[in-house]
Amino acid sequence: MGSWKKLTLDDDTIYIGTTSVALNRASAALTLAGITLTTPDIGVATATSVNKVTITQPATSSTLTIIDGKTLTVELNSLINQDLTTDASPTFAGLTIGTTLVTGAWTSFTPTITAVTGTFTTVSATGYWIQIGKIVHMSFIITITTNGTAAGGVIMTLPTNSKGYGRGFVIGREDAATGKMFTGVYGGGAGTDVSLYDYANAYPGGTGYVLVGGGTYEGA
């Protein structure tokens, strides 16, 4: 390995072994034996750009972490001024993501239950749902304490409107009396509800029946 022969500060010349290297301090780039060091140094707290990438200085401090071996690529759309740990509805260049995407928790809702014909004497329902983009997942339990004159089919309101007929599915099971399977048809028009029928297209309810089901549909 060569040794330092001479270090002259007056003429900005440094010798590495017998090789003479000129230091050009008037340029933005400092060249040493073919190695280029470009300023500003990314470690400098006051740097505003690195290789044409603009850095906006935070008011206090910020941390950008990229997992070892991974690549961070930002294309046409970018995340603008959003905190995925606290923002209820982060927006990516016009795409609004459902409120529970960040935490993964489903939100409860209380469906309104009616019948295709007739009226329930006593009926109640609970449900849970989550929306990711335009995709809505839901689950529900309908308890028919006293059926009354209800017949034809069971109509349940949705947590958020659907695109309507043919834009999703519902499947479930009567879990207290018959054990029969039932399916659902999303309504047309405003897409505010889904109609439930048993596997033979008959009325799925009755006094003491519990309808447990779930489904997925395209949100309006």
The per-residue pLDDT string of the chain (220 residues; one tens digit each, 9 = 90 and over) reads: 555 444 444 455 665 556 666 665 555 555 554 445 555 555 566 667 776 777 777 778 777 788 888 777 765 555 555 555 566 555 555 555 544 444 578 999 999 999 999 999 999 999 999 998 889 999 999 999 999 999 999 999 999 998 877 788 999 999 999 999 999 988 766 788 999 999 999 999 999 999 999 999 988 7
Q: Which residues contact 189 (CB under 8 A, 6 or more apart)?
A: 164
| Domain ranges in the chain with CATH number 2.60.90 | 107-218
pTM beyond cutoff 0.75: no
Question: d(Cα 204, Cα 209) in Å, to the nearest integer?
Answer: 9
CATH code for 107-218? Answer: 2.60.90
**Residues 52 and 63 sit within 8 Å (Cβ to Cβ):** no
The residues near 164 (Cβ < 8 Å, ≥ 6 apart) are 186, 187, 188, 189, 191, 220
